[in-house]
Amino acid sequence: MSLLEVKDLTVTHRGKPIVDGVDFELNRGESLALAGESGCGKTTTALALMKMLPEGLKQKGGIVLRPPGVEDPINVHRRTETGMQVVRWRHISLVFQGAMNALDPVQHIDDQIGEVIRLHERKVTGKQVKARIDDLLVTVGLTAKLGKRYPHQLSGGQRQRVMIALALACRPSLVIADEPTTALDVVMQAQVLQLLESLREELDLSLILISHDLGVLAETCDRIAVMYAGRIVEIGSVETVFSNPQHPYTKRLLDSLPVIGGRRGLAPPIPGGPPDPGDPPGGCAFHPRCPYSTDRCLEDPPPVEVGPDHLAACHFSPWSSWPEVEPQKVRVDA
Ligand SMILES: Nc1ncnc2c1ncn2[C@@H]1O[C@H](COP(=O)(O)OP(=O)(O)OP(=O)(O)O)[C@@H](O)[C@H]1O
Ligand SMILES: [Mg+2]
Protein backbone atom coordinates (compact mmCIF):
# COMPACT_ATOMS: atom_id res chain seq x y z
CA MET A 1 0.00 0.00 0.00
CA SER A 2 1.22 3.50 -0.72
CA LEU A 3 2.66 5.72 1.99
CA LEU A 4 1.33 8.90 0.44
CA GLU A 5 -1.59 9.47 -1.87
CA VAL A 6 -2.15 12.89 -3.39
CA LYS A 7 -5.36 13.48 -5.31
CA ASP A 8 -6.29 16.55 -7.31
CA LEU A 9 -4.12 18.85 -5.19
CA THR A 10 -4.83 22.43 -6.17
CA VAL A 11 -3.40 25.62 -4.70
CA THR A 12 -4.91 28.95 -5.64
CA HIS A 13 -3.87 32.57 -5.19
CA ARG A 14 -6.78 35.02 -5.55
CA GLY A 15 -8.78 32.24 -7.17
CA LYS A 16 -6.12 31.45 -9.79
CA PRO A 17 -4.34 28.08 -9.65
CA ILE A 18 -0.61 27.91 -8.94
CA VAL A 19 -0.74 24.14 -8.48
CA ASP A 20 -3.45 22.63 -10.63
CA GLY A 21 -4.82 19.13 -10.02
CA VAL A 22 -1.68 17.28 -9.00
CA ASP A 23 -2.07 13.49 -8.55
CA PHE A 24 0.58 11.02 -7.47
CA GLU A 25 1.32 8.17 -5.11
CA LEU A 26 4.49 7.31 -3.26
CA ASN A 27 5.36 3.88 -1.91
CA ARG A 28 7.25 3.13 1.27
CA GLY A 29 10.97 3.43 0.82
CA GLU A 30 10.55 5.01 -2.61
CA SER A 31 12.03 8.28 -3.81
CA LEU A 32 10.16 10.57 -6.15
CA ALA A 33 11.78 13.42 -8.02
CA LEU A 34 9.82 16.60 -8.62
CA ALA A 35 11.33 18.44 -11.58
CA GLY A 36 10.53 21.47 -13.68
CA GLU A 37 11.57 25.03 -14.39
CA SER A 38 11.59 27.79 -11.82
CA GLY A 39 8.07 28.89 -10.89
CA CYS A 40 6.28 25.69 -11.99
CA GLY A 41 4.95 25.04 -8.48
CA LYS A 42 7.40 22.59 -6.88
CA THR A 43 7.85 24.42 -3.57
CA THR A 44 4.15 25.27 -3.42
CA THR A 45 3.32 21.56 -3.81
CA ALA A 46 5.75 20.68 -1.00
CA LEU A 47 4.33 23.34 1.33
CA ALA A 48 0.79 22.16 0.59
CA LEU A 49 1.73 18.58 1.54
CA MET A 50 2.85 19.95 4.92
CA LYS A 51 -0.11 22.35 5.08
CA MET A 52 2.32 25.18 5.53
CA LEU A 53 1.27 27.51 2.72
CA PRO A 54 1.81 31.21 3.33
CA GLU A 55 -1.22 33.39 3.89
CA GLY A 56 -3.13 34.20 0.72
CA LEU A 57 -2.69 30.73 -0.80
CA LYS A 58 -5.52 28.20 -0.48
CA GLN A 59 -5.31 24.45 -1.00
CA LYS A 60 -7.85 21.82 -1.97
CA GLY A 61 -7.65 18.13 -2.76
CA GLY A 62 -6.78 14.93 -0.92
CA ILE A 63 -3.54 14.14 0.92
CA VAL A 64 -3.54 10.79 2.71
CA LEU A 65 -0.54 9.47 4.60
CA ARG A 66 -0.18 5.90 5.87
CA PRO A 67 2.91 5.79 8.08
CA PRO A 68 4.08 2.30 9.06
CA GLY A 69 2.91 1.38 12.55
CA VAL A 70 0.05 3.88 12.53
CA GLU A 71 -3.29 2.11 12.34
CA ASP A 72 -5.59 4.63 10.69
CA PRO A 73 -4.58 6.61 7.64
CA ILE A 74 -3.86 10.27 8.35
CA ASN A 75 -6.11 12.52 6.27
CA VAL A 76 -3.77 15.47 6.09
CA HIS A 77 -6.24 17.50 4.01
CA ARG A 78 -8.83 17.37 6.80
CA ARG A 79 -6.49 18.22 9.66
CA THR A 80 -6.69 21.53 11.45
CA GLU A 81 -3.55 23.46 12.33
CA THR A 82 -3.47 21.86 15.80
CA GLY A 83 -4.02 18.45 14.23
CA MET A 84 -1.12 19.06 11.84
CA GLN A 85 1.31 19.87 14.63
CA VAL A 86 1.48 16.19 15.57
CA VAL A 87 1.98 15.18 11.92
CA ARG A 88 4.63 17.67 10.81
CA TRP A 89 8.20 16.64 11.60
CA ARG A 90 6.89 13.45 13.25
CA HIS A 91 5.52 11.83 10.07
CA ILE A 92 6.42 14.23 7.23
CA SER A 93 9.27 16.67 7.37
CA LEU A 94 10.61 19.23 4.96
CA VAL A 95 14.11 20.46 4.28
CA PHE A 96 13.27 23.96 3.10
CA GLN A 97 14.65 25.51 -0.05
CA GLY A 98 17.57 27.70 1.00
CA ALA A 99 17.31 26.09 4.41
CA MET A 100 20.91 26.37 5.40
CA ASN A 101 20.29 30.00 6.20
CA ALA A 102 17.17 29.21 8.21
CA LEU A 103 18.90 28.10 11.40
CA ASP A 104 18.56 30.33 14.47
CA PRO A 105 21.85 32.29 14.53
CA VAL A 106 21.92 32.72 18.33
CA GLN A 107 21.22 29.13 19.37
CA HIS A 108 23.67 26.22 19.52
CA ILE A 109 22.99 23.48 16.97
CA ASP A 110 22.20 20.88 19.63
CA ASP A 111 19.67 23.16 21.34
CA GLN A 112 17.86 23.65 18.02
CA ILE A 113 17.68 19.92 17.37
CA GLY A 114 16.74 19.21 21.00
CA GLU A 115 13.85 21.65 20.78
CA VAL A 116 12.30 19.74 17.86
CA ILE A 117 12.61 16.41 19.70
CA ARG A 118 11.10 17.76 22.92
CA LEU A 119 8.22 19.37 21.08
CA HIS A 120 7.04 15.99 19.83
CA GLU A 121 8.12 13.68 22.62
CA ARG A 122 7.22 15.15 25.97
CA LYS A 123 8.45 12.18 27.98
CA VAL A 124 12.07 12.00 26.88
CA THR A 125 14.75 12.70 29.47
CA GLY A 126 17.56 15.20 28.96
CA LYS A 127 20.01 12.34 28.67
CA GLN A 128 17.97 10.63 25.96
CA VAL A 129 17.67 13.88 24.01
CA LYS A 130 21.43 14.41 24.20
CA ALA A 131 22.07 10.86 22.96
CA ARG A 132 19.59 11.33 20.09
CA ILE A 133 21.23 14.61 19.02
CA ASP A 134 24.70 13.06 19.06
CA ASP A 135 23.38 10.14 17.04
CA LEU A 136 21.68 12.38 14.50
CA LEU A 137 24.79 14.48 13.97
CA VAL A 138 26.83 11.35 13.36
CA THR A 139 24.12 9.96 11.05
CA VAL A 140 24.39 13.00 8.80
CA GLY A 141 28.17 12.73 8.70
CA LEU A 142 29.07 15.36 11.32
CA THR A 143 30.71 14.88 14.69
CA ALA A 144 28.74 15.21 17.93
CA LYS A 145 30.95 18.03 19.15
CA LEU A 146 29.74 20.30 16.32
CA GLY A 147 26.48 20.50 18.29
CA LYS A 148 28.15 23.01 20.57
CA ARG A 149 28.65 25.45 17.73
CA TYR A 150 26.54 28.29 16.40
CA PRO A 151 25.38 28.13 12.76
CA HIS A 152 27.88 30.78 11.62
CA GLN A 153 30.70 28.55 12.84
CA LEU A 154 29.75 25.88 10.28
CA SER A 155 30.36 25.64 6.53
CA GLY A 156 27.44 25.69 4.07
CA GLY A 157 27.62 21.93 3.62
CA GLN A 158 27.68 21.38 7.38
CA ARG A 159 24.67 23.63 7.86
CA GLN A 160 22.78 21.72 5.17
CA ARG A 161 23.58 18.48 7.01
CA VAL A 162 22.24 20.01 10.23
CA MET A 163 19.00 20.82 8.38
CA ILE A 164 18.75 17.20 7.31
CA ALA A 165 19.40 16.11 10.92
CA LEU A 166 16.56 18.39 12.01
CA ALA A 167 14.25 16.86 9.40
CA LEU A 168 15.13 13.38 10.70
CA ALA A 169 14.94 14.28 14.40
CA CYS A 170 11.51 12.74 15.04
CA ARG A 171 12.04 9.75 12.74
CA PRO A 172 9.48 10.63 10.07
CA SER A 173 8.64 8.16 7.32
CA LEU A 174 8.58 10.84 4.61
CA VAL A 175 11.14 13.56 4.03
CA ILE A 176 10.65 16.24 1.39
CA ALA A 177 13.91 17.90 0.39
CA ASP A 178 13.46 21.11 -1.60
CA GLU A 179 16.60 21.92 -3.62
CA PRO A 180 18.81 20.62 -0.80
CA THR A 181 22.02 21.01 -2.75
CA THR A 182 21.59 24.08 -4.92
CA ALA A 183 23.70 26.38 -2.77
CA LEU A 184 26.56 23.88 -2.42
CA ASP A 185 29.66 23.30 -4.50
CA VAL A 186 29.76 20.22 -6.72
CA VAL A 187 31.70 18.01 -4.29
CA MET A 188 29.47 18.91 -1.37
CA GLN A 189 26.40 18.43 -3.58
CA ALA A 190 27.42 14.86 -4.32
CA GLN A 191 28.07 14.18 -0.63
CA VAL A 192 24.70 15.51 0.52
CA LEU A 193 22.92 13.47 -2.17
CA GLN A 194 24.79 10.33 -1.20
CA LEU A 195 23.81 11.02 2.38
CA LEU A 196 20.11 11.28 1.49
CA GLU A 197 20.37 8.10 -0.55
CA SER A 198 22.01 6.10 2.24
CA LEU A 199 19.61 7.44 4.88
CA ARG A 200 16.73 6.29 2.76
CA GLU A 201 17.98 2.72 2.84
CA GLU A 202 19.11 2.77 6.45
CA LEU A 203 15.99 4.37 7.91
CA ASP A 204 13.46 3.02 5.40
CA LEU A 205 12.54 6.58 4.47
CA SER A 206 10.51 7.73 1.55
CA LEU A 207 11.85 10.80 -0.14
CA ILE A 208 10.47 13.53 -2.36
CA LEU A 209 13.42 15.32 -3.88
CA ILE A 210 12.79 18.65 -5.57
CA SER A 211 15.25 20.03 -8.05
CA HIS A 212 15.44 21.61 -11.46
CA ASP A 213 18.68 19.67 -12.00
CA LEU A 214 17.71 16.53 -13.88
CA GLY A 215 21.18 15.03 -13.52
CA VAL A 216 20.91 15.16 -9.73
CA LEU A 217 17.43 13.65 -9.78
CA ALA A 218 18.40 10.82 -12.13
CA GLU A 219 21.13 9.69 -9.79
CA THR A 220 19.05 9.78 -6.65
CA CYS A 221 15.44 8.88 -7.44
CA ASP A 222 13.31 5.88 -8.46
CA ARG A 223 10.51 7.84 -10.10
CA ILE A 224 10.17 11.30 -11.57
CA ALA A 225 7.27 13.72 -11.91
CA VAL A 226 7.86 16.56 -14.36
CA MET A 227 5.85 19.68 -13.59
CA TYR A 228 4.91 22.46 -15.97
CA ALA A 229 2.76 25.46 -15.00
CA GLY A 230 1.41 23.83 -11.85
CA ARG A 231 0.64 20.43 -13.38
CA ILE A 232 2.38 17.11 -13.62
CA VAL A 233 2.84 16.66 -17.36
CA GLU A 234 4.71 13.36 -17.14
CA ILE A 235 5.37 10.80 -14.43
CA GLY A 236 7.09 7.42 -14.48
CA SER A 237 10.22 5.58 -13.42
CA VAL A 238 13.42 7.55 -13.89
CA GLU A 239 14.72 4.87 -16.20
CA THR A 240 11.67 4.95 -18.46
CA VAL A 241 11.20 8.71 -18.54
CA PHE A 242 14.88 9.37 -19.26
CA SER A 243 15.13 6.74 -21.97
CA ASN A 244 11.68 7.27 -23.48
CA PRO A 245 10.25 10.69 -22.63
CA GLN A 246 6.64 11.04 -23.75
CA HIS A 247 5.92 14.73 -23.24
CA PRO A 248 7.59 17.31 -25.52
CA TYR A 249 8.51 19.38 -22.44
CA THR A 250 10.34 16.46 -20.82
CA LYS A 251 12.00 15.71 -24.14
CA ARG A 252 13.27 19.29 -24.41
CA LEU A 253 14.48 19.32 -20.81
CA LEU A 254 16.42 16.11 -21.40
CA ASP A 255 17.84 17.38 -24.69
CA SER A 256 19.32 20.34 -22.87
CA LEU A 257 21.32 18.06 -20.54
CA PRO A 258 25.00 17.77 -21.44
CA VAL A 259 25.91 14.31 -22.72
CA ILE A 260 29.19 13.23 -21.20
CA GLY A 261 31.51 11.98 -23.91
CA GLY A 262 28.80 12.65 -26.49
CA ARG A 263 29.59 14.26 -29.79
CA ARG A 264 26.39 16.25 -29.83
CA GLY A 265 26.52 19.83 -28.57
CA LEU A 266 23.84 21.14 -26.25
CA ALA A 267 20.40 21.47 -27.76
CA PRO A 268 19.23 25.07 -27.90
CA PRO A 269 17.32 26.10 -24.79
CA ILE A 270 13.55 25.87 -24.85
CA PRO A 271 12.37 29.09 -26.51
CA GLY A 272 10.35 31.55 -24.45
CA GLY A 273 9.72 31.31 -20.74
CA PRO A 274 7.24 29.46 -18.55
CA PRO A 275 3.81 31.11 -18.43
CA ASP A 276 2.61 33.38 -15.68
CA PRO A 277 0.85 30.91 -13.36
CA GLY A 278 -2.01 33.36 -12.82
CA ASP A 279 -2.57 33.65 -16.56
CA PRO A 280 -1.62 30.43 -18.35
CA PRO A 281 -2.40 29.99 -22.05
CA GLY A 282 -5.52 27.93 -22.73
CA GLY A 283 -5.26 24.23 -23.52
CA CYS A 284 -1.88 22.60 -23.01
CA ALA A 285 0.12 25.24 -21.11
CA PHE A 286 3.28 24.22 -22.99
CA HIS A 287 1.82 24.69 -26.48
CA PRO A 288 3.20 28.20 -27.18
CA ARG A 289 6.73 26.84 -26.65
CA CYS A 290 6.18 23.40 -28.13
CA PRO A 291 7.72 22.70 -31.54
CA TYR A 292 5.08 20.03 -32.22
CA SER A 293 1.94 21.96 -31.30
CA THR A 294 -1.11 22.09 -33.52
CA ASP A 295 -4.59 23.56 -33.10
CA ARG A 296 -5.54 20.48 -31.14
CA CYS A 297 -3.27 21.72 -28.35
CA LEU A 298 -5.68 24.57 -27.64
CA GLU A 299 -7.67 21.88 -25.85
CA ASP A 300 -6.56 20.56 -22.50
CA PRO A 301 -4.75 17.22 -22.86
CA PRO A 302 -5.68 14.71 -20.14
CA PRO A 303 -2.90 12.48 -18.77
CA VAL A 304 -2.85 9.17 -20.63
CA GLU A 305 -1.12 5.93 -19.80
CA VAL A 306 1.73 5.52 -22.27
CA GLY A 307 3.28 2.46 -20.64
CA PRO A 308 3.30 0.61 -17.34
CA ASP A 309 3.31 3.18 -14.51
CA HIS A 310 4.05 5.91 -17.08
CA LEU A 311 1.66 8.81 -17.74
CA ALA A 312 2.00 11.80 -20.04
CA ALA A 313 -0.40 14.68 -20.68
CA CYS A 314 0.05 15.33 -24.40
CA HIS A 315 -2.55 14.81 -27.16
CA PHE A 316 0.07 13.05 -29.28
CA SER A 317 1.41 10.61 -26.67
CA PRO A 318 2.58 7.95 -27.11
CA TRP A 319 5.20 9.27 -29.50
CA SER A 320 6.83 6.49 -31.47
CA SER A 321 9.57 8.83 -32.63
CA TRP A 322 10.32 12.55 -32.37
CA PRO A 323 10.09 14.28 -35.73
CA GLU A 324 12.88 16.66 -36.66
CA VAL A 325 11.66 20.20 -36.06
CA GLU A 326 12.85 23.70 -36.31
CA PRO A 327 13.92 24.23 -32.68
CA GLN A 328 13.09 27.92 -32.58
CA LYS A 329 9.51 27.51 -33.71
CA VAL A 330 7.31 29.36 -31.26
CA ARG A 331 3.64 29.96 -31.83
CA VAL A 332 2.85 33.60 -31.38
CA ASP A 333 -0.91 33.23 -31.51
CA ALA A 334 -1.17 32.15 -27.86
N1 LIG B 1 2.78 33.48 -1.50
C2 LIG B 1 2.58 33.56 -2.81
N3 LIG B 1 1.71 34.45 -3.33
C4 LIG B 1 1.49 34.55 -4.66
N5 LIG B 1 2.10 33.76 -5.58
C6 LIG B 1 2.98 32.86 -5.12
C7 LIG B 1 3.26 32.70 -3.74
N8 LIG B 1 4.18 31.71 -3.60
C9 LIG B 1 4.45 31.29 -4.84
N10 LIG B 1 3.74 31.97 -5.76
C11 LIG B 1 3.80 31.80 -7.24
O12 LIG B 1 3.54 30.45 -7.54
C13 LIG B 1 4.38 29.99 -8.59
C14 LIG B 1 5.08 28.73 -8.16
O15 LIG B 1 6.05 29.05 -7.17
P16 LIG B 1 6.98 27.95 -6.50
O17 LIG B 1 7.79 28.63 -5.46
O18 LIG B 1 6.14 26.81 -6.07
O19 LIG B 1 7.89 27.51 -7.74
P20 LIG B 1 9.10 26.49 -7.78
O21 LIG B 1 8.77 25.48 -8.83
O22 LIG B 1 9.43 26.01 -6.44
O23 LIG B 1 10.29 27.41 -8.37
P24 LIG B 1 11.88 27.44 -8.01
O25 LIG B 1 12.50 26.36 -8.87
O26 LIG B 1 12.29 28.80 -8.46
O27 LIG B 1 12.05 27.22 -6.55
C28 LIG B 1 5.32 31.13 -8.92
O29 LIG B 1 4.90 31.76 -10.08
C30 LIG B 1 5.21 32.08 -7.74
O31 LIG B 1 5.36 33.39 -8.14
MG1 LIG C 1 11.06 26.24 -5.21
Taking CA atoms only, the protein residue closest to ligand 1 atom 1 is 54
Average pLDDT over residues 225-236: 96
Domains and CATH numbers, the chain: 2-221 (3.40.50.300), 238-312 (no CATH)
Q: How far apart are CA 215 and CA 40, in angstroms?
A: 18
* Beta strand pairing call for 310-312 and 304-307: antiparallel
- Dump pLDDT digits (tens) for 307-324: 999 999 999 999 988 888
Which pLDDT value is given to residue 259?
A: 64
pTM (2 decimals)? 0.92
Beta bridge partners of 60: 10
Q: How far apart are the first and last CA of the chain?
A: 43
Percent of residues, the chain, with pLDDT higher than 90: 66
Ligand at shortest distance from the CA of 34:
1
- Dump pLDDT digits (tens) for 175-206: 999 998 877 777 778 888 888 888 888 888 99
pLDDT at 334 over 60: no
The neighbour count for residue 265, using CB atoms within 10 Å, is 8
Ligand 1 center to residue 75 CA distance, Å?
Answer: 25
pLDDT at 222 over 80: yes
- Dump pLDDT digits (tens) for 163-176: 999 999 998 999 99
Pocket residues: Cβ below 6 A from ligand 1: 13, 18, 36, 38-44, 54, 56-57, 97, 212, 277
Ligand 1 center to residue 94 CA distance, Å?
Answer: 17
- Dump pLDDT digits (tens) for 87-123: 999 999 999 887 667 889 999 999 999 999 998 888 8
In angstroms, what CA-CA distances link 131 with 107, 148, 169, 294, 300? Answer: 19, 14, 12, 62, 55
Taking CA atoms only, the protein residue closest to ligand 1 atom 13 is 39
Q: How far apart are CA 108 and CA 307, in angstroms?
A: 51
Atom of ligand 1 nearest to the CA of 276: 29
Please provide the average confidence, as pLDDT, over all residues in the chain: 89
Write out the residues surrounding ion ligand 2, Cβ under 5 A.
Answer: 42-43, 97
Taking CA atoms only, the protein residue closest to ligand 1 atom 12 is 18
Ligand 1 center to residue 13 CA distance, Å?
Answer: 10
Ligand 1 center to residue 285 CA distance, Å?
Answer: 16
Which pLDDT value is given to residue 332?
A: 45
Ligand at shortest distance from the CA of 35:
1
Ligand 1 center to residue 319 CA distance, Å?
Answer: 31
